[in-house]
Amino acid sequence: DAMVIQNPRYQVTQFGKPVTLSCSQTLNHNVMYWYQQKSSQAPKLLFHYYDKDFNNEADTPDNFQSRRPNTSFCFLDIRSPGLGDAAMYLCATSIQGGNQPQHFGDGTRLSIL
């Protein structure tokens, strides 16, 4: 059973056209993360929510924003996608504290035309 679900699996958008990626979880974890993984590179943390508290990484571009309307859902909004934003976007969840591993969704592969 899928526990961290990302939709869609593949997303194509036009240069500059806003796009939203979604993530939902059935684990009731209180921390949710968004990573960007470009081809042949390591996943890179963009931001995470600890409950409703938003934590942005210092080098995450302003073009990237996130929303977490409730425990189960988290969205990644890219306001004006550029060609360099083409990547796999991974959502992950974990339980805060106690050194718990993060559990990943299957990712959304974003292409920019």
Report in angstroms how near the CB of residue 57 gets to other proteins at its nearest: 8
Report which of 28, 23, 25 is spatially closest to residue 1, judged by C-alpha positions.
25
Q: Which residues bind other proteins (CB under 8 A)?
A: 4, 31, 33, 40-45, 48, 50, 55, 90, 92, 94, 96-97, 99, 101-107
- Rounded to an integer, what distance in angstroms lies between the CA atom of residue 93 and that of residue 103? 5
State both tokens at 17: 């056209």
CB of 49 to other proteins, least distance (A): 10
Q: Tell the smallest beta-carbon distance from residue 17 to other proteins (Å).
A: 26
